[in-house]
Amino acid sequence: MKVTVYEVARAAGVSVATVSRALNGGPVAPATRERVLAAARRLGYRPDRLAQGLATGRSRTVGVVIPDATGPLYGQMQRGLADVLTAAGFGYIATESRRDPGREAALLDEMLARKVEALVLVGSGLPVAALRARFSALPPLVLIEREGAAAGVPTYQIENEAAAYRATRALLGAGHTQVAHIKGLRRAGREREAGFLRALAEAGLKPAALAAGDFTEEGGYRAARALLARGGFTALFAASDRMALGVYRAAFEAGLRIPEDLSVVGFDDLAFAAYLTPPLSTLRQPAYELGRRAGEAVLSMLGGETPESAVLPCAYVARASVARKGGAV
Amino acid sequence: MKVTVYEVARAAGVSVATVSRALNGGPVAPATRERVLAAARRLGYRPDRLAQGLATGRSRTVGVVIPDATGPLYGQMQRGLADVLTAAGFGYIATESRRDPGREAALLDEMLARKVEALVLVGSGLPVAALRARFSALPPLVLIEREGAAAGVPTYQIENEAAAYRATRALLGAGHTQVAHIKGLRRAGREREAGFLRALAEAGLKPAALAAGDFTEEGGYRAARALLARGGFTALFAASDRMALGVYRAAFEAGLRIPEDLSVVGFDDLAFAAYLTPPLSTLRQPAYELGRRAGEAVLSMLGGETPESAVLPCAYVARASVARKGGAV
DNA sequence: CCTCCCTATGTAAGCGCTTACATTCCGAGG
DNA sequence: CCTCGGAATGTAAGCGCTTACATAGGGAGG
């Protein structure tokens, strides 16, 4: 039989109001509270979150929408989010939009129906203005890797441009003057490219070659093959580690050695990067931190504050895939 | 202002009961239903899941507990689960146990408080019997990669033993007679080892060497170094792709070529496997399928049926990391 | 010793929905 | 033409909890 506040009240010899207050830190005499807690424990009472939510209008749930759950860094981000949210007694429901606007809208609908108290939107998706237009009553919004600062929404992103700039500088610092780049998709891709270009421009250089990629191994491989066929560079900055892996393969097939013939830098610092041959120099994304910050932002917004947006730094991890300039390709 | 059934009822000129029935497929005259739906749409009515849950006792939510969200295959599994669950109008809340029994229990507590209608438990964790003992009223359980068939709980697992057996056979088929193995952790690790040993035993062979690993690159690297220092094998089966990557590194450092000097097989078929140099032969885990099957099991249990447990096959993916027997290490 | 006020507790009204039961209205069968 | 049964709809009672408001009981201040 289901244990409700009534059972607890009866067992403790008080009213349900007192039980509720005792359980939620309301004003109750210490002795009474003790009695109530004891009774609740003895009966194995477990408050019904649905009923609580209905009564208070607060579900203690936040909704998370991500474009692609299979992304390698998403797990860490989720962990950061979960760590702070669960510590605060919040649960969360996460879903994948698959970068489909219609699907994203449907997901949001469902989350609103579930009365989420805040929404964390990760990655590309409908612009904030469109969301506000489509959904009348939106809960507090927090964005990760998504445009929204303009709309006054707290946004947490990684430092793409500056990180790419630093990576490129590392290549230049090793004496390379002919450096190529394999671009990524979306805003992250554009920003990384911008940092790349800025570093070159500052050094009075032009990119030796540029190719479009899609963040995958296969995309990196194809792009690298095309680039290598034309040659003219001694270093290459790939916008993601996965693409850098494709570059390794293409270089191998072309009979090029890394880093002797070609220096390579990636982006993300996935688990495998440190174990490639040679270990890949790359930029470490603060994925966990991103989630943590977003979680804290949610909490502070719920507390009526207005958290600041932030751009988190990526650390450049120097490994053996970059060498001082050797022979040109 | 919040739109409730009452508003819709008034707008449609009917009672709330009729609204509810019209919305949920109850017995209502076609014309009336039309009128209600129109009113609901016009007002932008969105049923409150919390209230629905409270009233019906069914939350249309399932809880998912995984040991580690950062696992590379977890995203796919989650997708499989989500695909079938959302199609059926279910939401899900996912959380990480971090392999901590206390934490797992707390998570389950919270999920029960949220009135999940079913629980999907992934990977290692408290035994079913312990759960039943600790939690009085457990909803239907479905397990993935976790012990439970004995307790009559539908369980979905991948074929570890047989897959490892096939991988080992592939090595033997290539003429290798001295083959080493780097073990994994937990049940998956034990089963893979068992398959490995069975294949050897059937061929009248003994393992050339055995080392313990932990499924990580670093663990694989360490184990491979130790193994390589002693030598005596021409092929190696690593219980995970990540460990195989560590093997690649150790082999490189030892001046060994793969596959000329050493054939390697991994397990998982992570995205990077196909792009290593040489591409890694491995076993493809049906992660999405695992999630999908579990989702279907949840649905069928909720429908009063008793789904069958299943062990899903892994496909052996032959790539260039395995060659016919060359020189011994 | 009597108010007054504050504190501890109780009473009861919802929160938004579903659903058992009651009611109404018809057409069919006698 | 009356009655009966079923279909369509309405009424109202919860689901388990929180919380505004009411009540009771003291101690402090006069």
Q: What per-residue confidence (pLDDT) applies to A72?
A: 83
Q: Average pLDDT, whole number, for chain A?
A: 91
Q: What per-residue confidence (pLDDT) applies to A326?
A: 57
Residue A114 Cβ < 7 Å to strand C: no
Q: What per-residue confidence (pLDDT) applies to B304?
A: 87
Residues whose CB falls within 8 Å of the CB of residue A283, separated by 6 or more in sequence, listed in order = A163, A164, A166, A167, A265, A266, A267, A268, A269, A314, A315, A316, A317
Query: CA-to-C1' distance for A52 and D27, Å?
Result: 37
Q: Average pLDDT, whole number, for chain B?
A: 91
Q: What per-residue confidence (pLDDT) applies to A162?
A: 95
Q: Do A260 and A276 meet the contact criterion of CB atoms below 8 Å apart?
A: no
Flag whether pLDDT at B1 surpasses 70.
Answer: no
Query: CA-to-C1' distance for A137 and C22, Å?
Result: 39
Distances (CA, A) of A59 to A113, A116, B86: 11, 6, 20
Residues B127 and B170 in one domain: no
Residues B206 and B133 in one domain: no
Residues A107 and A171 in one domain: no
pLDDT category, A328, cuts 50, 70, 90?
very low
The 10s digit of each residue's pLDDT in B75-97 is 899 999 999 999 998 999 999 99
Residues B208 and B274 in one domain: yes
Q: Please give the average per-residue pLDDT across B168-195, as a whole number.
A: 92
Flag whether pLDDT at A232 surpasses 60.
Answer: yes
Residue B4 Cβ < 7 Å to strand C: yes
Flag whether pLDDT at B50 surpasses 90.
Answer: yes
Q: Which nucleotides of C are covered by protein (CB under 7 A)?
A: 7-12, 14-20
Q: What per-residue confidence (pLDDT) applies to B224?
A: 94
Q: What percent of chain A has pLDDT over 90?
A: 74
Q: What per-residue confidence (pLDDT) applies to A140?
A: 94
CATH assignment of the domain containing A231: 3.40.50.2300
Do the domain assignments include residue B111?
yes
Whether B50 and A114 lie within 8 Å, measured CB to CB: yes
Strands B141-144 and B91-96: what pairing?
unpaired
DSSP, res B123: S
Q: Please give the average per-residue pLDDT across B242-259, as a whole number.
A: 93
Whether B252 and A69 lie within 8 Å, measured CB to CB: no
Residues A170 and A264 in one domain: yes
Residues B119 and B165 in one domain: no
Query: CA-to-C1' distance for B29 and D1, Å?
Result: 29
Residues B39 and B125 in one domain: no
Structure tokens, A65 = 């929408």
Q: What per-residue confidence (pLDDT) applies to B329?
A: 46
Q: Do B120 and B298 meet the contact criterion of CB atoms below 8 Å apart?
A: yes
Residue B32 Cβ < 7 Å to strand D: yes
The 10s digit of each residue's pLDDT in A170-214 is 999 998 999 999 999 888 999 999 999 999 999 888 888 899 999
Whether A69 and B46 lie within 8 Å, measured CB to CB: no
Smallest Cβ–Cβ distance between A75 and the set B49, B69, B249 belongs to: B69
Flag whether pLDDT at A253 surpasses 80.
Answer: yes
Q: Do A198 and A227 meet the contact criterion of CB atoms below 8 Å apart?
A: no
Residue nearest to nucleotide C16 (CA to C1'): B51
Return d(Cα A235, Cα A326) in angstroms, integer: 10
Residues B128 and B74 in one domain: yes
Residue B54 Cβ < 7 Å to strand D: yes
Nearest alpha carbon to residue B82 among B309, B287, B315, B305? B287
Q: Please give the average per-residue pLDDT across A85-109, as a whole number.
A: 92
Q: What per-residue confidence (pLDDT) applies to A11?
A: 92
Q: What per-residue confidence (pLDDT) applies to A193?
A: 95
Tokens 């129109």 locate to B38
Q: Please give the average per-residue pLDDT across B168-194, as a whole number.
A: 92
Q: What per-residue confidence (pLDDT) applies to B259?
A: 87
Tally A–B CB contacts below 8 A: 126
Residues A166 and A183 in one domain: yes
CATH assignment of the domain containing B38: 1.10.260.40
Whether B248 and A277 lie within 8 Å, measured CB to CB: yes
Residues of chain B found within 8 Å of residue A48, distances taken between Cβ atoms: 54, 113, 115
Q: What per-residue confidence (pLDDT) applies to A125?
A: 85
Residue nearest to nucleotide D13 (CA to C1'): B55
Do the domain assignments include residue B146?
yes
Residues of chain B found within 8 Å of residue A112, distances taken between Cβ atoms: 46
pLDDT category, B148, cuts 50, 70, 90?
confident
Do the domain assignments include residue B294?
yes
Do the domain assignments include residue B320?
no
Residue A98 domain boundaries? 59-158+287-313
Q: Please give the average per-residue pLDDT across A81-90, as a whole number.
A: 92
Residues B90 and B128 in one domain: yes
| Chain B interface test: which of A134, A222, A275, A276 (most B C-beta within 10 Å) | A275
Whether A51 and B54 lie within 8 Å, measured CB to CB: yes
Smallest Cβ–Cβ distance between B48 and the set A44, A49, A113 belongs to: A113
Q: What per-residue confidence (pLDDT) applies to A1?
A: 67
Residues of chain B found within 8 Å of residue A57, distances taken between Cβ atoms: none
Return d(Cα B79, Cα B77) in angstroms, integer: 5
| Chain B interface test: which of A2, A49, A93, A116 (most B C-beta within 10 Å) | A49
Q: What percent of chain B has pLDDT over 90?
A: 75
